[in-house]
Structure 1
Amino acid sequence: MTTRIMELYKKRLTNIDGALKNIQSNDFIIAALGGSEPIPLLEELHRVKDLGVRNCELSNCLPMKDYEFIKNPEYQDAIFTAGWFYSPIMRKANKNGNVSFAPQHLHNAFTKRLYARDGRRLVLLCSCSSMDKHGYLTLSLGTTYERHAIEEGAFVIAVVNSKLPRTFGDTIVHVSEVDVIIEADYEVPTLPIAPINELDQKIGDYIAELVEDGSTIQLGIGGIPNAVAEALKVKKHLGIHTEMFTDGMVDLLNCGAVDNSHKTLYKGKTIATFALGSGKLYDFIDDNPSVVFKYGKWTNSPYVVGQNHKMVSINTTIEVDLSGQCASESIGPVQFSGTGGQSDTAIGAQLSPEGKSFIALYSTTDIKDKEGGVTTISKIVPMLKQGAAVSLSRNDVDYVVTEYGAVRLRGRTIKERVERLISIAHPDFRDQLRFEAKQHGIW
């Protein structure tokens, strides 16, 4: 390592208190996504209020911890939080009025005109792996919008954590591009692997049956996507082009089902825009040139996704109506998660020659009433709940899958869709669904 590189690094090095002094009133602050969050810095960010900072807005996605500036409305005059994918932390804080949801697609996760409004200064808070002898750090677990923010001139405050994996692709950052550095070794945030239940396995098997050898796949998170990954282990020559790199994908690579040999884009490489999972996943991506992280704007562009050979998109939803509309992010008007890349990849997969898009859900769910009683309801419904956000329009739905089967809606009339969706609804609700479809003229 040259003397010049070390001087650049040391010149930027400070502590948490020093970093907080770089936050100014009216800043638009962008926090890195999920496991890439600079946790020690965000844990203290609320203290900028004591420094006289006011009227900042912070954009985040999948926050991993219950930070004081999020959960405590007393800090909203200093930092108001706008999240574009809610975790349980954000769902809880939303009730306080100091947090609001920002609707957008993942492939538009960073557009400068959205952030630079009102002349606000852009500030990126991120975490990085350790610097190498050439002066390069990496954004480690992803570059959904982080690298793009750097290139658009954001003031960059980075927490360097030696425990973060070193990754390849658009995650590479030179020390000269960072304005402030804090060193802090802490455990990398992990995401528990969702267990696979009997319903997940049935759905996973239905989907896997329709995935051909040589397909390029995208998977979401949760029990159903994990079951799909498990069922795909018998396939051959699969490829991965996904927004989120997961533990299930590591298993598919390790067992040989995925070799990326038939891909159109980046043949031989696994493409993702961020990773979140267990220590096993982080060990796999560490210093692994076969896993390439690309801008979310590129990775999730439907036109890029559609260039992949036999692209298959697999996502989940909360509720589907009889015309095929999917509410995947809210329960009625109450924000639950976010759109993420669902429509990006669903539309992209259908642009691919021989591509397929799957939306999966359980046929029923249990809800509690005010008295604590439990009622089972159908998740295939005549009409979405009042106020529900339509995450995937009926024009963009291909296959819908429950534990009762998989049906294709693409190109089908409403009348055909009604019959097909009722056929995979829970048997206890099929007669009622037919009655309501007739009553409301859904055909």
Structure 2
Amino acid sequence: MNWKKIYSERLMSPEQALKQIPDGGRVVSGHAAGEPTFLLSYMAEHKEWYHDVEICHMVSLGKNEYCREDMTGHFRHNALFVGGGTRKAVKEGRGDYTPCFFYEIPRLFESSLPVDAALISVTPPDQNGKVSLGVSVDYTKAAAKNAKLVIAQVNDQMPYTYGDSLLDVSEIDCFVEHSAPLPELKPSVLTKVEKDIGYNCASLINDGDTLQLGIGAIPDAVLLSLKYKKDLGIHSEMFSDGVVELVEAGVITNEKKKFLPDKMAANFLMGTKRLYDFVDHNKNVAMYPADYTNDPVVVAKNDRIVCINSSVQIDLMGQACSESIGLTQISGVGGQVDFIRGASMAKHGISILAMPSTAKKGTVSRIVPFLDEGAAVTTSRNDIDYVVTEHGIAHLKGKTLRERAKALIAISHLVFREELIGVYEERFHCKFE
């Protein structure tokens, strides 16, 4: 059948499409800047249509109206990664958190988390009847492939990306056209602490290395410190505006990559319009699902990969909590462990957990004798490699518990070192020297 005929027959109003979502069903929403915000807001405006519908996703940049108290009985959120707009609902019991490695999420939609409806955001069809998932391929493509019902917000402001980002119009049940700017995340304003952390991380990066970076102040600070490096590459779960600057400066060329050479590989993108314009129809950017980019075995194909992630708290054994404050879930595992394990399997790969040495305006140490009660161990002491703060670098891989504790104390904040040294001497029955 002609793809234009399929498209026209399945083009409908938001009401016609969204009323097909069944009571008690699981709705998986597109991720981050690929979230179909118009469709979700429309559902919330018409909450009376729905009963006990689960809204499932990772990071959201939308309004999260379905998490409000007045949505009880209509919607319940299932977070695969808790974000700023969903934390309150999860903490207060109107939502749930499902722990999972990012690379395994597409597989969950084939088994433990069957999908009744996928709400996705796509480009208009190309000349071959293909739509691009643009900035959100990650788990979004798997959700669409496994859903009983696929509803697409067709947005002419979504950038068209390559790699494995395409769906045929025949794979989508309902098309709702709605043009809207993508949600933007502005670059961070960097403090001296963050710049120092970035400098320390950059000292571990060599010309020709391939990078995995997240988003936020510390990744931005790392990128800022890389302006004098050469021939860097990108294989990451995501990247943002800072990468664009280094491409334009000739620092990131991807020419030394052994795996996916000459391509910046990622599964989602989040930043400003500058980023979205950069990736639009850019054949040097390759977008793939998370079960490919984040699979540790795939990550390990990148020789000399450097993976940089952040953490909330690290204890003296090297256990890292990167997702909760005590029992309060503030984010999720994401791709941290995927890449840390992939880097450990790669030739000359290294992984870095970078964080300020303190929190709460310097009143709390992030390097602690024990993780807070209830805190999740995100990265185990067996997986951890480098830890970086503004005070230096601690290399933990292959070190004894005593050596680890000593190295971590050396990069803690001076205000807390005496207390940590006291714990060290009591635990290991020796003087700290």
* Fold shared per TM-score above 0.5: yes
Q: TM-score, length-normalised on structure 1?
A: 0.93
How much has 1:440 moved relative to structure 2?
A: 4.4
- Give the corresponding residue for 2:2: 4
1:302 and 2:296 matched: yes
Alpha carbons 1:23, 1:48 under 8 Å: kept: no
For each residue in 1:58-107, what CA deviation from the matched residue of structure 2 results, as whole angstroms up to 9, or x when unmatched?
211111122321123x3332321101111111112223321111111100
Query: For 1:61, which of 58, 61, 67 is the aligned residue?
Result: 58
- Give the corresponding residue for 2:380: 393
Amino acid at match of 1:331: I
Query: For 1:336, which of 330, 334, 343 is the aligned residue?
Result: 330
1:83 and 2:83 matched: no
- Give the corresponding residue for 1:372: none
Within 5 A, what are the aligned runs for 1:180-219? 180-219=174-213
Distance 1:442-1:290 versus aligned 2 partners, 3 A rule: farther
- Give the corresponding residue for 1:99: 95
Moved more, 243-252 or 408-417: 243-252
For each residue in 1:248-300, what CA deviation from the matched residue of structure 2 results, as whole angstroms up to 9, or x when unmatched?
11112111111111112110111000000011100100010110001101100
| C-alpha distance in 1 between matches for 2:83 and 2:187 | 16
Alpha carbons 2:103, 2:335 under 8 Å: kept: yes
Alpha carbons 2:48, 2:74 under 8 Å: kept: no
1:292 and 2:286 matched: yes
Q: TM-score, length-normalised on structure 2?
A: 0.96
Distance 1:424-1:15 versus aligned 2 partners, 3 A rule: same
Within 5 A, what are the aligned runs for 1:200-239? 200-239=194-233
| C-alpha distance in 2 between matches for 1:175 and 1:190 | 27
Residue ranges of structure 2 left out of the alignment (5+ in a row): none
Residue ranges of structure 1 left out of the alignment (5+ in a row): 368-374
- Give the corresponding residue for 1:108: 104
- Give the corresponding residue for 1:327: 321
| C-alpha distance in 2 between matches for 1:354 and 1:162 | 42
| C-alpha distance in 1 between matches for 2:64 and 2:245 | 33
Alpha carbons 1:115, 1:122 under 8 Å: kept: no
Alpha carbons 1:34, 1:61 under 8 Å: kept: yes
Aligned-pair Cα RMSD in Å: 1.6
| C-alpha distance in 2 between matches for 1:292 and 1:76 | 40
Alpha carbons 1:318, 1:327 under 8 Å: kept: yes
Amino acid at match of 2:340: A
| C-alpha distance in 2 between matches for 1:24 and 1:418 | 54
For each residue in 1:179-212, what CA deviation from the matched residue of structure 2 results, as whole angstroms up to 9, or x when unmatched?
0010001111001111221111111111111111
Moved more, 282-291 or 242-251: 242-251
Amino acid at match of 1:158: A
1:418 and 2:400 matched: no
For each residue in 1:280-333, what CA deviation from the matched residue of structure 2 results, as whole angstroms up to 9, or x when unmatched?
100100010110001101100111101102010001101110011111000011
For each residue in 1:224-263, what CA deviation from the matched residue of structure 2 results, as whole angstroms up to 9, or x when unmatched?
1101111112111111000012111111211111111111
* Percent sequence identity over aligned pairs: 36
Distance 1:279-1:47 versus aligned 2 partners, 3 A rule: closer
How much has 1:49 moved relative to structure 2?
A: 4.3
1:28 and 2:15 matched: no
Q: Secondary structure at the match of 1:181?
A: strand
| C-alpha distance in 2 between matches for 1:175 and 1:12 | 9
| C-alpha distance in 1 between matches for 2:238 and 2:384 | 21
Within 5 A, what are the aligned runs for 1:367-406? 376-406=363-393
Q: Secondary structure at the match of 2:120?
A: strand
- Give the corresponding residue for 2:123: 129
